[in-house]
Structure 1
Amino acid sequence: MINAVLFDMDGLIFDTESIYKTSWKYAAKEQGLELSDALYQYFIGVPDAACEQMLVQHLGAELDLQRYQAIRDKHFHALCAAGVTYQPGFTELFGYLQQRAIRCALVTSSGVAEVKHYFSGSPILEQFERVITSEDVSRGKPYPDCYLLACEALALPPAECLVLEDSNNGMQAALDAGCQAIMIPDMLQANDEVKRRAKHILAHLGEVIPLL
């Protein structure tokens, strides 16, 4: 039984992951450093603070983190100013859930400011019953804390909540929380553990509708 659908945001609802990657790599290059694709893969679905810790560990004393953050954020916001689009199938799926009165929550590794920015000018954010951001938990994905908090806020057992995620880290968080979980891969394909544990792996969000 599915009594609520919990949405990730970056890479699932919005096509933002490629923009994030471009800006993270740009800021490293600005300091004459390189952020490899192999390292960036570990950042997908993980809160910025944890990603920055990995970056510092990898690049060491050569990295000026404060300068890096400023350059990255400025570059990212400039790219976003051109517009961030919904991922295929999102509006159809969300409309279907609203018509069926299926409860919805947003569970993201981004902060409140980013959430409000992406949904600005749209009534969709107000239609989520609960919004859980990186600011609500001390441990982000791949830890299950954010999804456990969402289930608690909805007063539902995890087994009655369906999580939709685009990253392996997000899927691990959802599955370890005890939720049902479907992956719609964006920049990374499902790893072996996710393939084994996921309810489904789909091409786009519109494919979720027949499964509800």
Structure 2
Amino acid sequence: MARTKPARIRYALFDFDGVIADTEPLYVELDRRVLRHFGYEPTDTELESFIGLSSEVESRKLLAANGIEVSHDEYRAVWDSDAQIYGDPGLKPNPGLADLWLALRSAGAKIAVVSSSPTSGLVRALNRFGLLSCVDAIVGAEMVSKRKPDPEPYLRALEYLALGDAGAARGAVAFDDSGAGVASAVAAGAWTVCYRGAAAAQAAADESLEDFVTFSW
């Protein structure tokens, strides 16, 4: 799908983890505790490889690869991102994010959150941030059949925001930080901004961004 930079942002699509808020350190430590609970000591490299993906899925794959079979229910009984990450009182939106959202809303843009994390946790955090009222749509992990890097999550968000506008991607800008997320947004046809991502993710995006405070269009 051909992509050009929109003259104005009609649809602003934001990944949550790492973009809206810096949850990655909380995820790394949660995953480390849970993997240890099941008898496996992960390396930092293994834990960092989960970034941008569903860590509850990747952790079980890692356990299975090391001969430890854990059911989904057994894993979720220990791994509780809703309370331990999105309910963490120390979690805050990244600097400048709230002001950017208010500016986008004032300019008539619609905002969606597009994440590989459970929707309940996203709602919980956004509500606590006082930002839930700014959001027009949320696409969480359980709302799609294919996760990032597949384009389905971003396409689903555009479907909700654009209400049948077949050309919605031409007015869409996505903000993501992982290689999987950038690939998903690009494949969905959105102009893609890599926020503080690794070099490979920045190279795959249309542009990169280090600071929401100084962001301008």
Choose the corresponding residue for 1:136, options 143, 148, 162.
143
Choose the corresponding residue for 1:190, options 189, 196, 199.
199
Indicate the residue corresponding to 1:161 in structure 2: 172
Distance in 1 between residues matched to 2:129 and 2:30, nearest whole Å: 25
1:138–1:22 CA distance, 2 compared to 1 (3 A) = same
AA at the equivalent of 1:97: L
Residues 132-190 of structure 1: per-residue CA shift (max 9 Å, x gap): 111210111111100011122222432321000121111111111111111112xx513
Matched, 1:58 2:65: yes
Indicate the residue corresponding to 2:43 in structure 1: 36
Tell me by how many angstroms 1:67 deviates.
4.5
Alignment of 1:63-74 (within 5 A): 66-73=73-80
1:112–1:137 CA distance, 2 compared to 1 (3 A) = same
Tell me by how many angstroms 1:122 deviates.
4.4
Indicate the residue corresponding to 1:174 in structure 2: 185
Distance in 1 between residues matched to 2:66 and 2:214, nearest whole Å: 41
- Structure 1 ranges of 4+ moved more than 3 A: 62-69, 78-82, 194-197
Indicate the residue corresponding to 1:25 in structure 2: 32
Structure 2 residues without counterparts, runs of 5 or longer: 1-5
Distance in 1 between residues matched to 2:39 and 2:106, nearest whole Å: 52
AA at the equivalent of 1:111: P
1:165–1:33 CA distance, 2 compared to 1 (3 A) = same
CA RMSD of aligned residues (A): 2.5
Distance in 1 between residues matched to 2:103 and 2:153, nearest whole Å: 25
Quote the sequence identity (%).
Answer: 26
Please say which of residues 94-103 and 64-73 is displaced more in the overlay. 64-73
Query: 2:186 aligns to what SS in structure 1?
Result: helix
1:64–1:152 CA distance, 2 compared to 1 (3 A) = closer
Tell me by how many angstroms 1:32 deviates.
3.4
Q: TM-score, normalised by structure 2?
A: 0.83
Query: 1:113 aligns to what SS in structure 2?
Result: helix
Tell me by how many angstroms 1:99 deviates.
2.0
1:137–1:104 CA distance, 2 compared to 1 (3 A) = same
Q: Please say if residues 19 and 79 of structure 1, whose CA atoms lie closer than 8 Å, have aligned partners that are also in contact.
A: no
Equivalent pairs counted in the alignment come to 206
Alignment of 1:36-115 (within 5 A): 36-61=43-68, 66-73=73-80, 77=84, 80-115=87-122
Q: Please say if residues 27 and 85 of structure 2, whose CA atoms lie closer than 8 Å, have aligned partners that are also in contact.
A: no
Query: 1:205 aligns to what SS in structure 2?
Result: coil
Considering fraction of residues, name the structure with more helix. 1
Residues 102-157 of structure 1: per-residue CA shift (max 9 Å, x gap): 22111111112101211234442122111111121011111110001112222243
Residues 9-66 of structure 1: per-residue CA shift (max 9 Å, x gap): 1111112111011010111223331122222233112134532443234332265765
1:203–1:117 CA distance, 2 compared to 1 (3 A) = same
Tell me by how many angstroms 1:203 deviates.
1.1
Q: Please say if residues 56 and 65 of structure 1, whose CA atoms lie closer than 8 Å, have aligned partners that are also in contact.
A: no
